[in-house]
Amino acid sequence: MRIAVDYRILVVGPSSIHRGMGRFTQQQLREVLRVDPDNEYVLVCYADSDTSLVLPEIAAAPNVEVRRLPPGTRLTGVDGEAASALRRASEFQEWIHRLGVDLFHATTPFLLEGPILSDFDACPMVATFYDVIPLVFPAQYLTNGPAREYYMRTLGLLDRATRLQSISECSRGDAAYYLGFPAARNDLVYPIADPCFSLYNAATMVVHPSKYEGFGLPVLEAMSCGAPVITTSSSSLPEVAGGAALLVDPEDVWGFSDAIQELHGDPGRRLKMAEQGLERAAFFTGDGLARATLASYGAAARGDGLPPARVRVALWTPLPPQRSGIADYSVELLGALETTHDVEVFVDDGFLPDANLLRDHRVQHFGAFARRHGQAPFDAIVYQMGGSTYHLYMYDPLQVVPGIVVLHDLMWSHVLLTECNERDDLDGFKRELLALEGPDALAELLAIEERNGAEPAAAHDSLWTFLSDHPMLGRVIDASVAQIVHFDSARVELEQRYAASRVRTIPMGVRDPVRPGRPLEGAETRARLGLGPSTFVVGVFGIVHPVKRVESCVQALGRLVAEHPDSVLLVVGEALDSAYVEGLTSLAAELGVLPHARFAGYVPRFEFDAQLLCCDVVVNLRAPLTKHMSATLLRGLAAGRPMIVSALADWDFLPDDACLQVPPGEDEVDVLAGHLADLAADPARRLAMSAAARRYFRREASIERMAARYRDVIAEVTAGTPA
């Protein structure tokens, strides 16, 4: 085998290389090389590492070579470059892959040097597992935000290791307890006491009052020098001592005092303990370390103990913290889909998902896709495409590697126009429009330009109508093996526009915002927000944008307050244009209802759900040209909120007994205000609509239901059956 050994620990320099992790890394490889002349070992270090710190026995071995990473590799998220962290991790793995190694040994996974890995799949990986001290003592180790993020990301790396090498039975048990890592893939590899240690045999006794150790080398080193040892009954220390030391509870100060006095006054016992210690220390041998390490390497290379292979899915999608509804949608889908499929997520450059996402899911920079697909082709590839530039990164790759495309709306033209405008390349948009929609479409755009000015704004109704009529999805349809949409009218439109389409309708599903055991969460949120129990709360959720018709909601509030003074409009979501919110605030002030209007802005997911549950009614209006499903609408139904929605043909599947409709147009405010006044005066009707909303959610819009439908489409595609 050709084995890459992570030797980036050299960067800590001579003052630290001789501490625990560095010493074990060196002694382990030294002992392995002593008995293994056949395998090749590649020491991976930084460009600026001082290789003179490598033990002479290792450096002189004929089957060892040193390979230095490219300059700049150490720059990572912990150095303020979080936005490039996934890309740098991908580049690191690509570099390892090109080494042609059969195995990678992550010797010091918690080394605070870049690139910080949350996953590794360039080849099978063995990771040394020392301890979980930060998890046992979080108040001492995990209060610093960046340090906690780094630590949690690295736990994800350990979770997905082919095998772990634990330095004690205690740490092996901790890996099972804290990480859920299977014992069948966790090998026991004991450290040894280096022969250079003797500053201990001059001691009358050695006291090691540690609260927690992954192994506890000072205890073994002291015993190997013939020094009597007093240590604690905590963690791995009784395991290392093996009955040859006095054990004291780590919190028992007087216990330590008594033990020290007892040994000091009993030379005979000290002599006996020294003999027992030497006998115990002889158990930890270099041969044993080498054999255990090589056995672990072999098991990892063979894949011993790995779960059976499942259908492998590559999912291209935005993820939080990108503020995209599709990002939230994909996280919820992932949790359900991963119960039956192995899913790897490929994301854009320029952002870093949070540590919990990286630990719970396999998330990679999209630059890693070619390598991963080349190593073992994915059975299915799913591209989540929506109407924002968050999805542009997948447009070209889709045309190279076809997959299943989920179209969250049918206005890809808006994305292409936005991107070309940002690059000041409107001519590029026109060329793409001509290629995809033809000369008549180009002539129509030129006419719009002439009417509206040289730089058409997306806010103009004529341009919105144009983009809706010309979705520019031709390349997407031609390159995809199947398409998924969220409602039947979108399916029918695609089938009519594109002969090559192969469309399936999968109604959108959302996570249940009603948490078990929290029936009063809405009331608690009201109290926290200063809303009375009898206040009639009208909620508007999601991106705050003119397409959501929020100004109509503010106008309807003006009429509602006249009849029901104890009413509040709660607008929760990020505003893409602050001027729009300023205009809404001014409108509320003009109508005399500013004290009744609250603009919460962006809130985290848990707070979003909490504020949703405190509403009496949720309003979800849309301009008629957007042609997409609303996740916030479904979240309102899932929360059991009576809904007031725009009367759109695309949404004709929504349940009439849970949703009141508002036709777009001149009467929009009148109808909306009437619905609100009726519901404010009729708690019984609200209760009935609430029950109907929950019934619909459980029947049609749960995450589990949506994931099952995804599985059906994936099964058709992977079986070669046209979708």
DSSP H or E stretch at residue 486: none
3-state secondary structure 404-415: EEEECECCHHHH
How would you classify residue 37: left for phi > 0, otherwise alpha for psi between -120 and 50, otherwise beta? alpha
Angstrom distance (rounded) from CA 104 to CA 106: 6
For the segment 506-522, the average pLDDT, to the nearest whole number, is: 81
Share of the chain above pLDDT 70, in %: 96
- Please, which pLDDT band fits residue 80 given cuts at 50, 70 and 90? low
Give per-residue pLDDT as tens, 406-464.
999 888 999 999 999 999 999 999 999 999 999 999 999 998 888 876 554 444 678 88
- Crossing angle of helices 20-35 and 286-302, in 10° steps, is 80
pTM exceeds cut of 0.85:
yes
Share of the chain above pLDDT 90, in %: 78
Give per-residue pLDDT as tens, 524-547.
899 999 999 999 999 999 889 888
Q: Does the N-terminal peptide bond of residue 321 adopt cis geometry, omega within 30 degrees of 0? A: yes
Give the chain's count of helices (H) and strands (E): 30, 23
| Structure-token pair, residue 573 | 């979501």
For the segment(s) 312-410+473-505, the CATH number from 3.40.50.2000, 3.40.50.150, 3.30.450.20, 2.40.30.40 is 3.40.50.2000
Angstrom distance (rounded) from CA 139 to CA 97: 39
- In DSSP terms, which residues pair with 68 in a beta bridge? 45
**Residue 460 pLDDT:** 63
Domain with CATH 3.40.50.2000 in the chain: 2-188, 206-282, 312-410+473-505, 521-701
Angstrom distance (rounded) from CA 66 to CA 411: 53
Contact (Cβ atoms closer than 8 angstroms) between residue 500 and residue 477 = yes
Place domain 2-188 in its CATH homologous superfamily.
Glycogen Phosphorylase B; (3.40.50.2000)
- In DSSP terms, which residues pair with 106 in a beta bridge? 127
For the segment(s) 206-282, the CATH number from 3.40.50.140, 3.40.50.2000, 3.90.1640.10, 3.60.110.10 is 3.40.50.2000
Angstrom distance (rounded) from CA 296 to CA 184: 11
**Residue 458 pLDDT:** 44
Least confident of 37-46, 80-89, 161-170, 583-592: 80-89
Residue 428 CB contacts under 8 Å (≥ 6 apart), including other chains: 420
DSSP state string for 643-691: EEEE--GGGTTS-TTTEEEE-SSTTHHHHHHHHHHHHHT-HHHHHHHHH
3-state secondary structure of 568: strand
Which pairing describes strands 617-620 and 643-646: parallel, antiparallel, or unpaired?
parallel
Residue 598 CB contacts under 8 Å (≥ 6 apart), including other chains: 529, 568, 569, 570, 571
Give per-residue pLDDT as tens, 177-225.
999 999 999 999 999 998 887 889 899 999 999 999 999 999 999 999 9
For the segment 657-684, the average pLDDT, to the nearest whole number, is: 95
**H-type helices in 175-310, by residue range?**
217-224, 237-241, 253-264, 267-281, 286-302
Average pLDDT for the chain: 92
For the segment 581-586, the average pLDDT, to the nearest whole number, is: 94
Fold of 521-701: Rossmann fold (3.40.50)
